[in-house]
Amino acid sequence: MKLCGRKLIAALCGAAFLASSMVQVSAASPEGEKPVPKKIVQTAGRDALGDFAPDFARYNDDILFGEVWSRNDVLSLHDRSLITISALVASGVIDSSLKYHIMTAKTNGVTKDEMVEAITQLGFYAGWPKAWAAFRMAREVYEAE
């Protein structure tokens, strides 16, 4: 059962990468009040798989991003990005979907130093070769202008 969950996460993240454009629609929250969630609008699933696997595309765009990622008033986009990257690296998903999520993490405010620290920690728990692969991608993303 655990393996199936990992494959599902990897597949969803992979679909999210394909031709994606994640847009954040934000609303301001008064100081001292609970943050207002930023609605995540995702079209990667429909763009890449809408005609072939429409239900999967809908789950990706509307459920994973439209509902889960949009609950960022509970868990920030910054933290969701770090969790997602950790799950991908630990699962051995070190392909273009990892690079996409590293780019998204940067957009979501994850600093180079935070990314380096997270991947270093992952090296000890998820595996040294996986960390090396993640570092190669992170370096490309954070050194790009």
Q: Find out if CATH 1.20.810.10 is the number for domain 76-145.
A: no
pLDDT, position 31:
63
DSSP 3-state percent helix, strand, coil across the chain (nearest 5): 65, 5, 30
The 10 Å CB-count burial string (b at 16+, else e) for 1-34 is eeeeeeeebbebbbbbbbebebeeeeeeeeeeee
Ranges of CATH 1.20.1290.10 domains, the chain: 76-145
pLDDT digits (tens, 9 = 90+) for 25-56: 444 455 667 778 888 888 989 999 999 999 99
pTM check: above 0.85: no
Mean pLDDT, residues 67-71 taken together: 93
pLDDT digits (tens, 9 = 90+) for 84-131: 999 999 999 999 999 999 999 999 999 999 999 999 999 999 999 999
